[in-house]
Chain A
Amino acid sequence: NAGVTQTPKFRILKIGQSMTLQCTQDMNHNYMYWYRQDPGMGLKLIYYSVGAGITDKGEVPNGYNVSRSTTEDFPLRLELAAPSQTSVYFCASRTLAGGGNEQFFGPGTRLTVL
């Protein structure tokens, strides 16, 4: 299994441009998440999904959109990029099995908005 994969690894955007960050998992996990991590800080939840067709906002959803048309894919869309969205973005997934909240993370996308 590849686990959670993210593309691209790096991207530089100009203010006002749009882009989609891709996230795919091959573990048949129901739950998927998008986080952002600013320098020296912990992760903040942007959006999450509990299954195909179902998404919900996290702590910092403004400026982002998501969709979940399949179990495997959970893309994150930035419509009008702003410098405040410069960050590292992590996608994660987990199964419902077990009592805890064990998430598997991708390697991240480093985004710079200039």
Chain B
Amino acid sequence: DAKTTQPNSMESNEEEPVHLPCNHSTISGTDYIHWYRQLPSQGPEYVIHGLTSNVNNRMASLAIAEDRKSSTLILHRATLRDAAVYYCILGNRDDKIIFGKGTRLHILP
């Protein structure tokens, strides 16, 4: 399974944009880039996924580097509710997905 590298933790101020980085230098051509998040004491929640082009949805945006070896999850305006562990995961529809330790995002009021 291709691996991802994320910072252990990040801080951001409330109401400011947050850019969460993910490196995946061994990504294969069929791997999608997924982001999940896990709020305290809850199950993981799907955020977004993409293959080559940047993607937007109601929760976030996903910016994918042209060589696909890195990506960035963008929360446009962080709220306290966005404090969570964010997981960057590679896989396609036929794979099991492997959760790493993720990035713990702290939001400062």
Contacts and interface: CB of A to CB of B under 8 A. Distances in A.
Which of B34, B49, B97, B98 counts the most chain A CB atoms within 10 A?
A: B97
Question: 8 smallest A-B Cβ distances: which pairs?
Answer: A105-B43, A42-B99, A100-B49, A43-B99, A100-B32, A101-B91, A102-B46, A90-B43
A110 B72 CA distance: 32
6 contacts: A43-B99, A48-B96, A100-B32, A101-B95, A102-B46, A103-B36
A59 B1 CA distance: 12
A26 to B, nearest CB: 16
Given A42-B87, A42-B100, A100-B49, A90 B44 contact: yes
Nearest to A40: B101
B51 interface: yes
Tell me what chain B mostly uses at the interface: helix, strand, loop, or mixed. loop
Interface of A: 33, 35, 41-45, 48, 58-59, 90, 92, 96, 98-108
Main secondary structure of the interface of A (DSSP, over half): loop
Contacts of A100: 32, 34, 49, 51, 91-93
- B-side interface size class: 20 to 34
Contacts of B32: 99-101
Contact of A96 (B44, B93, B99): B93
Nearest to A102: B46
Contacts of A108: 42-43
Given A90-B43, A108-B43, A103 B100 contact: no
Contact of A101 (B34, B44, B100): B34
